[in-house]
Amino acid sequence: MEINELKDAWAQYDKKLSKVLKLNEELLRSVNLEKSTFALKKPMILELLNMVIQFCVINVIIALLIQLSGETQYFITGLIGSLMCAVSFVFSAVKASRFYDLLYYDLSVMHFQKKMTNLRILILRLRKIEYLIAVIIGITLLPLIVKAKAGVDLFGDLTVFIPAVFGVVGLGLIFGVILNLKVYDKSIKDAESFLNMIEKFGNEE
């Protein structure tokens, strides 16, 4: 069969569809389209929310550091914790701005899909780092909070604190490696192969 025959068949099919397709106007009118549009922006909103949370955490750390001023070990852990929060804040800002730039109407199919896939790869790569950051934030903030709120000095008995830290880090690393191999690496590979396919599609002359 030649392409023109298929085009004719497709045109006949289109005519037939024009006769039988029904648009449920009532249903479309009843849908809150603004609310649905908001739902489409959920990934960007989540990143903005994460920025707010990180900002609040940094402020809490600063307040705790003021409360525990003069204690070097808490100053160092607090500093590390707030630096990690700041890094996480920047990551979320980068992702939110990239989501904001992702306009379905502005770019051709190939350019949009490239942009979308590059963003997906970036998110997956950042997630790997964010996971590590979350573990570090947890470890650095725990002694600070326990000291400020319960008055217990976790640095007082390092024979308990250090093995506990190693335990948490060890478990975190094992879980992280599994997560990377089973989820993130696989998804990155899949996205990269789609990206290659798009590149090839665009470069063939």
Partner 1 sequence: MNKDNFISVVKDNQNLIFKICNSYCSNYEDRKDLQQDILIQLWNSFSKFDGRVKISTWIYRIALNTAISFYRKDRKRKEKTVGIDASVISLPDYEPGFEQDERISLLYKYLERLNEMDKALILLVLEDKSYRDMAEILGISETNVATKISRIKKRIKEEFKH
Min dist CB 175 to partner 1, Å, is: 19
- Dist. CA 43–CA 101, nearest whole Å: 13
From the list 128-136, 148-156, 174-182, 193-201, the region that binds partner 1 by CB under 8 A is: 193-201
Find the part of the chain contacting partner 1 (CB under 8 A) among 47-55, 62-70, 99-107, 165-173. 99-107
Tokens 């094992």 sit on residue = 174
What are the backbone dihedrals phi and psi of residue 107, each rounded to the nearest 5 degrees, phi first?
Answer: -115, 155
- Rule CB under 8 A: choose which of 12, 59, 97, 196 binds partner 1: 12
Q: Which is nearer to partner 1, 42 or 149 (CB)?
A: 42
Given a contact cutoff of 8 angstroms between Cβ atoms, the answer to whether 123 and 95 are in contact is: yes
Task: For the CB of residue 192, give the shortest distance to partner 1 in the complex, in Å.
Answer: 13
Amino acid at 154: L
How far apart CA 169 and CA 156 sit, in angstroms, is 20
User: What is the radius of gyration, based on Cα positions, of the chain?
Assistant: 26
Looking at the Cβ atoms of 3 and 150, the one nearer to partner 1 is 3
Q: How many residues belong to the site for partner 1 (CB under 8 A)?
A: 50
| Tokens matching residue 61 | 């750390």
Q: Whole-number minimum distance, CB 52 to partner 1, in Å?
A: 22
Q: Which is nearer to partner 1, 9 or 52 (CB)?
A: 9
Burial group, residue 14, by CB count within 10 angstroms (0-12, 13-18, 19+):
exposed
Least gap, CB of 99 to partner 1 (angstroms)? 13
Q: Which of residues 118-157 bind partner 1 (CB under 8 A)?
A: none
